[in-house]
Amino acid sequence: MAQVTTQAELSRQVAKRRTFAIISHPDAGKTTLTEKVLLYSGAVELAGAVRSRKNQRHATSDWMAIERERGISITSSVLQFEYGNCSFNLLDTPGHQDFSEDTYRTLMAVDSAVMVLDAAKGIEPQTLKLFEVCRMRRIPILTFINKLDHPSRHPLELLDEIEKLLHIEAIAMNWPIGDGPEFQGVYDIERARVLLFERTLHGQFRAPVSVSNIDDPELARLLGDAPYARLREEVELLTVAGKAFDRERFLRGEATPVYFGSALNNFGVEPFLDALVELSPPPGPRQAGDRVVRPDDPDFSGFVFKIQANMNPKHRDSVAFLRVCSGMFTKDMTVDHPRLGRKVRLSRPYQLFANERTTLDEAYPGDVIGLSNPGIFAIGDTVYTGKPVQFPPMPTFDPELFAALRNTDTSKYKQFHKGIDQLVQEGAIQRFFGEDGAQLHPILGAVGQLQFDVVKTRLELEYGVEVIVDPLPYTIARRVIADEATWRSMRWPNGTMLVRDRKGDRVALFQTAWQAERCAENNPDARFMRLGQEIEA
Ligand SMILES: Nc1nc2c(ncn2[C@@H]2O[C@H](COP(=O)(O)OP(=O)(O)OP(=O)(O)O)[C@@H](O)[C@H]2O)c(=O)[nH]1
Ligand SMILES: [Mg+2]
């Protein structure tokens, strides 16, 4: 009997979970939308801002000092909250491509995504890239078109662009009435009601005005004749075009429901949050090798997709972010940890709210929990109870920029190495060792320049060490697989540097792609492998 109850409770908990990432090109307003979603769900009482003035609250999800300083997101953060009888796990991701490895990993951990577009800019390059990742993983996408308070492109043009560039059906769920200074609000198509935007009350909104349908004369009076006529015309056009929202198509990633608003002005956020409750899917089955893991499987399983050190000045430790995929998680449970080849006890689990944490006793599929990590977890680790499970590996990128890192104060040797160790563990940067394993000045590999800036700043702020980043002229790294005889006879282009990666494998750093290709041709007995794949095969 107890078994039946537990199973029913597990299914009930799974059904109320909503786990999604907010993705887009930099600056479209992901963090601002996140903050407003927290405000409307009641998870924060006062909304903060990305670039806040003195004494003003900062946006919750940009908690890192360097994020607040620069007004951009650098690392994904997890926010858990309750709304509309659902338990949400929201993951706000960084848009900048230099941090996209972090965003790609985060996309492994969610069941749906919210794509934020700037209404003046439409689909931007990074949005397109991230969308492709969602498509490959068949992640359903909701679209929020933001910044309608600025002069915007015509909504029909924006919908058309989504369809043309992303090859997905874009279904308007509400319709903006004007834009920029003339932005009046949105018309909720299904419910035939108008939500009026109140510009003067910054940070507040006026109660929605209900009208029974678009022919209601009250609506013309409220909006003014010309905007009303335009709205009628546009809504009619939409009706004629005849595209209705089809939930199944949305869940298969073939259609996206589109909402308009302005996150900064709190406008259109509440209907969007309601849409998330209604439309975003609960956790579903996951492929793990040749097995399919169902969320209501009584055996527990999950994987680590992120590691972050120094999240909170009160707890300067490392936390592993684990996505629960099946079964119930309970504090102190013992799980198999196949990479270590032993069992581990999960004794310090946390519920996460950006850099805040509270101890939790249980968690369910869909939840992202924090685990205190004294070096036992790495990105990509799977843990489970019962039958063995292995979730797919995390995507990794090929580094294209390299630098030597110099510690300017040798008395801080220990902090320097601890800092680098932790940042490498987080996947914030890649590290290489000298051919002989020596490591006087670590060699770092990155996808983008900003990663070096972040490492330098974080070493200063979090570990108290000043470093110099010396750029190196390499642009390509290849893992070299060769037997000893072949290795000794190999001929290298001038200026090639030979290093080892953290597994001890040999890696050659080349200055140009041409050199790397020639080297492979000249040494046919060796294999030259890329270090990363943007997306796992
Ligand atoms: N006018 C206007 N500005 C907005 C709106 N939403 C966000 N912004 C501003 O746009 C800028 C970028 O917003 P963020 O929320 O940091 O954007 P983001 O997508 O999280 O950016 P990254 O995380 O760095 O990729 C900030 O200055 C916001 O105040 C909006 O609705 N209207
Ligand atoms: Mg952000």
> What range does the domain containing 211 cover?
18-77+87-279
What residues have CB less than 8 Å from 380, skipping those under 6 apart?
303, 304, 305, 393, 394
**How far does residue 267's CA lie from ligand 1's centre (Å)?**
14
Smallest CA separation from ligand 1 atom 5, residue: 264
* Chain segment 478-532, per-residue pLDDT in tens: 999 999 999 999 999 999 999 998 888 999 999 999 999 999 999 999 999 999 8
pLDDT at 517: 95
* Whole-angstrom distance, CA of residue 457 vs CA of residue 449: 13
62 found inside a domain: yes
Atom of ligand 1 nearest to the CA of 72: 24
Residue where one domain finishes, among candidates 254, 279, 304: 279
* Whole-angstrom distance, CA of residue 311 vs CA of residue 458: 12
> Could you tell me if 342 and 409 lie in one domain?
no
* Chain segment 240-296, per-residue pLDDT in tens: 776 889 999 999 999 999 999 999 988 899 999 999 999 999 999 999 999 999 999
Query: How confident is residue 537, by pLDDT bands cut at 50, 70 and 90?
Result: very low
pLDDT at 197: 80
The answer to whether 141 and 131 are in contact (CB under 8 A) is yes
> Could you tell me if 272 and 291 lie in one domain?
no
* Chain segment 15-70, per-residue pLDDT in tens: 999 999 999 999 999 999 999 999 999 998 888 888 776 667 889 999 998 999 89
Unique residue bearing structure tokens 């030597």:
404
- Residue list, CB under 5 A from ion ligand 2: 30-31, 73
pTM of the predicted model as reported, rounded to 2 decimal places: 0.94
Statement: residue 307 has pLDDT above 50 = yes
Q: Is the CB of 93 under 6 A from ligand 1?
A: no
443 found inside a domain: yes
10 found inside a domain: no
Q: Is the CB of 523 under 6 A from ligand 1?
A: no
DSSP run (H or E) holding 415: helix 413-426
What residues have CB less than 8 Å from 451, skipping those under 6 apart?
98, 99, 401, 428, 429
* Whole-angstrom distance, CA of residue 332 vs CA of residue 75: 28
**How far does residue 59's CA lie from ligand 1's centre (Å)?**
11
pLDDT at 536: 37
Ligand 1, residues 22, 24, 25, 32: which to mutate, most atoms within 8 A of Cβ?
A: 32
> Could you tell me if 271 and 296 lie in one domain?
no
- Beta strands at 17-23 and 112-118: parallel, antiparallel or unpaired: parallel
Domains of the chain: total: 3
CATH number for position 461: 3.30.70.3280
3 found inside a domain: no
pLDDT at 50: 82
114 found inside a domain: yes
